[in-house]
Structure 1
Amino acid sequence: MLADHKGEVPFIVYILPFLAGIWLAMSFGLADHMIAVSIAFGILLGTFIALNLLYERTKLYRLPWVGGTMMHTLLLLAGTLITLNHDDRNHSNFFAKHPADQLLVRINSEPQLKGQFLRFTAVVDEAITPKHRRHTTGNLLVTMTVDSARARKFAYGDVLLIPAKYDIPDAPFNPAEFNYRKYLSQKNVFFQSFTDLKHVFVVDRKAGNQLVAYSLGLRQRLVGQFKKYMQDPEAIAVASTLILGYKAELDNDILQAYSKTGTIHVLSVSGAHVAIIFMMIAWLLKPLDRWRWGKYLKATLSIGLIWYYSLLTGLSPAVCRAAVMITMVILGTSFTRRISMVNILAASAMAILLYDPFLIMDVGFQLSYLALVGLLVFQPIVYGWWDVENKWLDRLWIICSASIAIQAITFPLSAYYFHQFPVYFLISNLLIIIPVEVVMYAGIGCLIASQAGWVTIAEWTGQLLQKSILLMDAGLRYIERSPYSSVTKIWLNGWELWLMVAFIVLLFAVFYYQRAVLLKVSLVCLFLLCISSSFRKIRSVRTDSISYLNLKKHSGIVFKQGTRAVVLTDLADTDKTFKYSIRLGLDSSRVEDVVILPFSKDTSTMFFKKQANWVRFVNKDMVIIDKYLWLPKRGVKSKADQLFVTGSPHIAPGSIDANFSYGKLIVDAGNSDKATNAIKAGLKDDKKMYALKRNRALVIQSNQ
């Protein structure tokens, strides 16, 4: 399955302590101990070298464990040091450590226009004050308001002068909301800046890496060729994404169709796409095998063409990962007689993590390497389940066994991140195998023909490309709309993720080693997983809660009883904010029956009743105070458990305390700062007040 001896796969042995070091640095924030770790690494490295030089004199061969222990410790410390050094915050010239009036930034990504907002990351080269300019480092996410015409003026490598106004990205405010701050931090971006065009000045052009600039410009020109020889916007978007890795124009409906059918990997230009290109290159260069030195020339040309394809895709990280691995495979097969693909896989991962250890937290990195592990390690096990004699059925079974192995090993991580499982993954993957190859070859052919000026061939291949994509999309949409096409609302915590991984790996080990003890341990993992999931479900079903959400400019309250919920909101259920800030929270809390109401509508259910501004949920009373509710300065006090203020109403000082006896006052995030401050000033006890603006959602629970 792996190797008969660990000496055959040394990089598997090396990468494990290295990964442990990266994990230690990222989990425990060892920045304060960076000097101590560096000293320990230096002393240990010196000792290790000295012992190797004096190997026979010291008779170290009598203690073989010493060298192994020192090597593993060195790799662990190396992983820790590289990660700490890669974190810009640990450098003394990090821009956020130096006050400034203006920042000189250099765009280091391709600017993306979404609506009226242009967004890109930039390296902060200088922090500027009226008295001095200081050289700095660190990445900044910049968002500016522009129109589509002016957005084209900004490109990779531009040097801009912007105001030194930045802040830390918001943490997730609502339950199960996407953690954008964490996502950015894993890309070494810890601050963001919002500005408009009038405060931005272009200082220089084309100051970035010339190779990257050429690559991004070339990709834009090639996307333009697709638009020239194809007419359907959907086909153009899929072709640009699938072949060139350009996702800016991809529609969400297309993404959903691929995601729910388990074929989303097709839209991420990565190992599979590079492998298809490699097979085409290998076939074209096959005549070189006849010559004595032909295999070396073939290897050189193959590596060059693979990296040129990486250039066409804008040198995207996923393609570069695949190119590194295939480069190692080509070198291994060309210059050695016997290679271990698993060892090459580990070596490529280690090389990439040496360059950027933060990639260990990248979902694409994790899934792509897991998929390759499934293909190399688990596919032979699955293939051995069925001995097929028919030649064509055997080829079909090879494809099916690969799909099963990859889906099995990636399922825990996919469920953890995306909370769904594509039931018909085998059918959908079989459906797209031939179309994807046709799309890749037709797309490359169209681009070559267009660049060579062969208009007729470019038009013909462009039409073939368009029809292949539309046929593939139609098939995937049919599968997506089929009954029980996907299992959704799968929510795992960290322990459940590891238990599921352990169960699946041990189950494959049972088939390979055929040992009863492995089966027992795998069943224990499954049992613990079921217990954990059951306890969480029982706790959720038995819990009633009111969640006052922070939706910024919008309002939302979730009244949950067990698996039922009523949502009061001014958002439609198709709105993007609803999907990301409300729907995820409902799914994570196991809600199955949801009623969505605007604040203006009255209703009555078994556990919820709303009439005008008064709400009763189970045994709790709540009043909605908006601009339509009149509060006299002196009134008869009404009793309510919670008050919810929304819409920036004008409230006379003291009128809330005069009209209500309450336990908690919640001020919606959509209220203006002026209204929020006025409400707080008019209260006798402002400790009862909770302002949602810039704060997490307030969840009030009661176990029944």
Structure 2
Amino acid sequence: MLANHKGEIPVIILLLPWLFGITLGLSFIQAAYLPVLSGVFIGLGTVFILLNLNYQRFAVYKFRWLGGLLINLILLTAGWISTVNYYELNNRNHFSRSAAQYLAVRINSEPQFKAGLTRFTASVYQNISFKQTTATSGTLLLAVKDNAAMGLQYGDELLIPATCTPIDPPLNPAEFNYKKYLFYQNIHYQVFLYPGQYHLLQHNRGNPVIAYALKLRQQMVTSFKLQLHHPDVIAVASTLILGYKADLSNDVLQAYSKTGTIHVLSVSGAHVAIIYFLLQWLLGFLNRYKYGKVVKMVLTILLIWYYAMLTGLSPAVCRAAVMISMVIIGNTFTRYINMLNILATSAFLLLLYDPFFIADVGFQLSYLAVAGLIVLQPVVYKWVTFKNKWADKLWALCSVSIAAQVVTFPLSAFYFHQFPVYFLLSNLLIIIPTMIIMCTGMGYLLFFRVPWLSTILAWTLENSILFMNKALAVIEHAPFASIGKIWITPIEHLLIYAFIISLFYFLYDKKPWLLKLSMACLLLLCISISFKVYRSNNTKSIAFLSLRKKTGIVFKSGNNAVILSNLADTAKVYRYSVQPYLDSSKINSSKVCGLEDNISLRYLKKQGNLIQFYNKRLLIFDTGMSNLQLSTKLKTDYLYITGNPNTTLQQISRSYDYQTLIIDGSNTQKLINQLETEAKEMRVNYSILKRNISLIALSN
């Protein structure tokens, strides 16, 4: 299944401790660990060398396990060290370590304009304070609200104010962790700029090769716009062929995601493989010459890497480029090739360049999918045998899709919380259109200046994309097209993988203990999921969500919930911050009510601003209640201040007896500061939701 002997896959064996070391490095990444790790690495390396130099003298051959143990420990330590060194906040000259008035930055990514903002990343190379400059380093995320910023390009140098702010963590349960996402890109600070707050210093100061590739890609995207008419067609063509995703609409992304074909929109191994076969066909005539095979090898590798550079050098493309380059070299010089070794080598090279790639979702899915094709596809293919040639070919394609989906399902469910039911049908459906799109798209880019030929190619390209989009839209809206709201814990994620690996290994090797192991993993998984469902069904809670200047209170009773909010359920903030919490809490039935609505349910009563949820009482204190004085104190568990009322905590305490004070983001910072000061003086338990983590209170 993997190899007849571990000697056939030495890189896989050596890669495992390296991966474990990187994982440890991500968990313990502080610079304080570096001296100890360096000492351990040097010590282990010295022992390894001395033992090899004195192999006979110390009779090391009697302890054959010792060499393997030392190598594994050395690789583990090396992986850990590489991660700590790569973490830019450990650099002594990082821009955040010294105060400055201005920063000189160089744009190191292609600026993207969306929703009125131009976003890009930039490398900081200079701190400026009172006309004194200091060389520095680090990466910033910039968002510029200025139409003039649309003219900014990769390599431009800017002077910006040093008003950097750390990336906010997720403020609500199950919300997308944007801070962690940027952390794994080594980005920890951001800047928002408006007109007049930045100045252009110089043009074209970036890497000339990358600048040329980005410029050429923009020209190619523009050439698509010349003869393709539908915006979604242009977006899909630009994404599928060139890796340019800026113009993709949410509807298109959703259609591909729900049908299990989102991988088509990520330029990866399949796309590079098509380019490889095209080049093999075009350069096939060189095989007739003496050194033709070598020339063909060099040209093919150069053109594949040129295409990889053109598409942005994503981990998936780099992996495919490294793998295919090694396959080409092996085939040219007639060497035996183990695909798992090549896969591991490409992973090692990429992680040597950037150890944070290990946390990239695209990197993980890409390598798992290819590993699944190499290891599991032959097992799946042998399940059924067809005598008919075409039926056998169709089953071969099905086995490819099944193997890739099975091995990537736990990871995609963990990250994206859904499973495409009709993945087999949709993946079979897009095979031919994808190949036509790639071939006609590349042909169009090569011959778009030839009038009649470019017109034919553009027509074929556009109609192929339209057909594929419409077919996937039909599958997307079919009954039970996808299973959503899948929220699994890291332990459950690992249990699913243990179940898959042991089951498939049993189907290959037929050892009974493997079947027992797979069943044990399945049993533990079922117990874990059942416990979560039971706990969710019997949980009663109030969630005070942090929604910037909006209000959001979720009353959860088992699988039912009422959301008290001034947000519509179609609003972007609702989908981003509220809906993930509902999904992760196993809410099957929910209702959004306005702040002014009265509610009468078995578990929730709301009359005016007073709310009773089981045994908990909540009062919403807004502008309408700021001048209201009660003759006797009203007892309440939570007092929720919203809408920026003109009041003080002393005035509130005259009429209300409360246990917890909650202040949402709709209040001004002045009022929040005032209430916080009073709460500390009065020793009142309080929670501020503005730019702070939400509060979840259990009522049972």
Question: By the TM > 0.5 criterion, same fold?
Answer: yes
> SS at 1:70's partner residue?
helix
Quick one: distance in 1 between partners of 2:429 and 2:25? 43
Per-residue deviation, 1:292 = 4.5
- Over 3 Å counting, the alpha-carbon distance change for 1:28 and 1:653 in structure 2 is closer
1:467 aligns with 2:456: no
1:491 aligns with 2:496: no
TM-score (norm 1): 0.97
Corresponding residue number in structure 1 for 2:637:
641
**1:542-589, Cα deviation, whole Å (9 max, x unpaired):** 110000000012111100000000001111111111111000000001
Aligned length: 699
Per-residue deviation, 1:4 = 1.0
Quick one: distance in 2 between partners of 1:676 and 1:311? 50
| Aligned residue type for 1:668 | D
Quick one: distance in 1 between partners of 2:397 and 2:639? 60
**1:655-700, Cα deviation, whole Å (9 max, x unpaired):** 2111112221211122111222343456673523221112210110
Corresponding residue number in structure 2 for 1:126:
126
- Which stretch of structure 1 is more off in the superposition, 495-504 or 663-672? 663-672
1:567 aligns with 2:595: no
Select the residue among 536, 542, 550 that pairs with 1:540.
536
**1:87-132, Cα deviation, whole Å (9 max, x unpaired):** 1111211111111111111111111122222211111111121163
Quick one: distance in 2 between partners of 1:293 and 1:67? 43
Corresponding residue number in structure 1 for 2:472:
476
- Which stretch of structure 1 is more off in the superposition, 123-132 or 518-527? 123-132
> SS at 1:551's partner residue?
coil
Select the residue among 525, 529, 534 that pairs with 1:529.
525
Quick one: distance in 1 between partners of 2:310 and 2:131? 44
Runs (5+) with no aligned partner, structure 2: none
1:366-385 map, 5 Å: 366-385=364-383
Whether contact under 8 Å (2:661, 2:684) holds in the other structure is: no
Corresponding residue number in structure 1 for 2:152:
154
- Over 3 Å counting, the alpha-carbon distance change for 1:550 and 1:29 in structure 2 is same
> SS at 1:621's partner residue?
strand
Per-residue deviation, 1:599 = 1.3
Corresponding residue number in structure 1 for 2:230:
232
Select the residue among 436, 441, 444 that pairs with 1:443.
441
| Aligned residue type for 1:120 | F
| Aligned residue type for 2:124 | V
Quick one: distance in 2 between partners of 1:542 and 1:629? 35
- Which stretch of structure 1 is more off in the superposition, 579-588 or 665-674? 665-674
Cα RMSD of the aligned pairs, angstroms, is 1.6
Per-residue deviation, 1:536 = 1.2
Corresponding residue number in structure 1 for 2:32:
32
**1:248-283, Cα deviation, whole Å (9 max, x unpaired):** 110001100000000000011111111111121122
Corresponding residue number in structure 2 for 1:78:
78
| Aligned residue type for 2:523 | F
Select the residue among 333, 340, 349 that pairs with 1:342.
340
> SS at 1:237's partner residue?
helix
Corresponding residue number in structure 2 for 1:115:
115
Identity, % of aligned positions: 49
| Aligned residue type for 2:695 | L
- Which stretch of structure 1 is more off in the superposition, 477-486 or 62-71? 62-71
Quick one: distance in 2 between partners of 1:574 and 1:633? 38
1:698 aligns with 2:700: no
| Aligned residue type for 1:79 | G
Whether contact under 8 Å (2:315, 2:350) holds in the other structure is: no
- Over 3 Å counting, the alpha-carbon distance change for 1:432 and 1:165 in structure 2 is same
1:456 aligns with 2:452: yes
> SS at 1:37's partner residue?
helix
Per-residue deviation, 1:630 = 4.5
| Aligned residue type for 1:41 | F
> SS at 1:558's partner residue?
strand
- Over 3 Å counting, the alpha-carbon distance change for 1:161 and 1:390 in structure 2 is same
| Aligned residue type for 1:91 | N
Quick one: distance in 2 between partners of 1:206 and 1:586? 47
**1:216-247, Cα deviation, whole Å (9 max, x unpaired):** 11111100000001010010011011111111
Quick one: distance in 2 between partners of 1:197 and 1:69? 59
1:293 aligns with 2:291: yes
Corresponding residue number in structure 2 for 1:360:
358
Runs (5+) with no aligned partner, structure 1: none
TM-score (norm 2): 0.97
Quick one: distance in 2 between partners of 1:15 and 1:504? 22
| Aligned residue type for 1:109 | S
1:257-268 map, 5 Å: 257-268=255-266
Whether contact under 8 Å (1:423, 1:484) holds in the other structure is: yes
Quick one: distance in 1 between partners of 2:194 and 2:314? 28
> SS at 1:152's partner residue?
helix
Quick one: distance in 2 between partners of 1:520 and 1:368? 30
Per-residue deviation, 1:64 = 2.5
Whether contact under 8 Å (1:102, 1:163) holds in the other structure is: yes
Corresponding residue number in structure 1 for 2:585:
589
**1:383-436, Cα deviation, whole Å (9 max, x unpaired):** 010111111111101100010010000000000000000000000001100001
Whether contact under 8 Å (1:489, 1:588) holds in the other structure is: yes
Quick one: distance in 1 between partners of 2:281 and 2:56? 51
Corresponding residue number in structure 2 for 1:610:
606
- Which stretch of structure 1 is more off in the superposition, 453-462 or 473-482? 453-462
Quick one: distance in 2 between partners of 1:159 and 1:401? 51
- Which stretch of structure 1 is more off in the superposition, 353-362 or 597-606? 597-606
1:650 aligns with 2:646: yes
Per-residue deviation, 1:312 = 2.6
| Aligned residue type for 2:306 | Y
Quick one: distance in 2 between partners of 1:333 and 1:39? 43
Select the residue among 609, 627, 634 that pairs with 1:631.
627
Quick one: distance in 2 between partners of 1:514 and 1:292? 50
> SS at 1:160's partner residue?
strand
